[in-house]
Amino acid sequence: MDKLDKMLKMQEAANRLASPDWADANFNWGRAVWVECAELLDHLGGWKWWKAQKTNLAQAKMEQVDIWHFMLSDALQNGTAKDLECEIRALPLVLNTHEEIIKAVERIASDAIDGIMNHWYFFSVCKALGMDFDHLHDWYMGKNTLNNFRQANGYATGTYRKHWSDGREDNEHLVELLEAGGIENLWDRLEARYNGG
C-alpha cells in the first residue's frame, strides 16, 4: 500500500497548492465526483441515441483518475484514508457490458450526490476499463504532475492555456505522453509540448 500512501500525500500537497485552507474549506467532493462521472460517460459514448458516438477509452480512464483525486481528498478530509486499503483489496464487481459500466458510473454519481464515496463501484469501473491499481497509480501520478504544471503556469489566475498550440486539450497530450514514456521526466515533456516543442 506504499502507492496508496504516496498518492494520499501527493493529493494533500496538491490540495494545499490549490487552496492552502482546503482542509477547513468544506469543499463538496461529492459534487466534483458526479461532474467527473458525467464527463466519463461522454467519453464512454453510446448513450446519446440521437447522434453517432465513439468510445474514447484513454480519456475515459483519465476521467476515472480525476474522480480518484476527489475520492482521495474526501478520504483525507474525513479521516477515512486507512479504510481505502481494505476497499482496494475487495473483489470488484464484474461489469460485462457497456450498459453495466454506464450504470456503475451512474451509481458512483448518485452516491456522490448523497455524500457517499462508492469505492467498490469505482474500482469495478476501473477493472472494466482495463485499469488495475498500478495503472491507476501511474496515471494518477501523471495527472497530478499535469495539475501541478497547470498551477505553475497560471491555472488559478486564468492565464494557463488548456488548449495547446495544436488546439488539443492538455489531457490529450498527457495521455499520449503517458502511453509513450510513462511518468519519467513527465514535467519536462509537458513543458516542451506546452511551449510548442
Tell me the sheet residues that pair with 163.
169
Q: Give the tens place of pLDDT for each residue, 137-150.
A: 999 999 999 999 99
d(CA 105, CA 56): 15
For residues 145-171, average pLDDT: 92
pLDDT at position 197? 61
The pLDDT > 90 percentage for the chain reads: 82
Q: How many CA atoms lie within 13 A of 173 on its CB side?
A: 25
pLDDT at position 87? 87
What single string gives the DSSP state of each residue in the chain? -HHHHHHHHHHHHHHHHH-TTGGGTT--HHHHHHHHHHHHHHHH----TTS-----HHHHHHHHHHHHHHHHHHHHHHT-HHHHHHHHHSPPPP--SHHHHHHHHHHHHHHHHTT---HHHHHHHHHHTT--HHHHHHHHHHHHHHHHHHHHTTTTTT---SB-TTS-BHHHHHHHHHHHHTTTTHHHHHHHHHTT-
How many CB atoms within 10 Å of residue 127? 16
> What does the block give as the cell for 122?
469505482
Mean per-residue pLDDT over the chain, rounded: 93
pLDDT at position 63? 97
The pLDDT > 70 percentage for the chain reads: 99
Backbone angles phi, psi at 106, to 5 degrees: -65, -35
Q: Is 182 left (phi over 0), alpha (psi -120 to 50) or beta?
A: left
Highest mean pLDDT out of 40-54, 108-122, 155-169: 108-122
Q: Give the tens place of pLDDT for each residue, 6-55.
A: 999 999 999 998 899 999 999 999 999 999 999 999 999 988 889 999 99
Reported pTM: 0.93
pLDDT at position 131? 96
pLDDT at position 156? 87
Q: Give the tens place of pLDDT for each residue, 81-110.
A: 888 888 888 889 999 999 999 999 999 999
Instruction: Find, among 37, 58, 62, 60, the residue nearest to 139 by Cα.
Output: 62
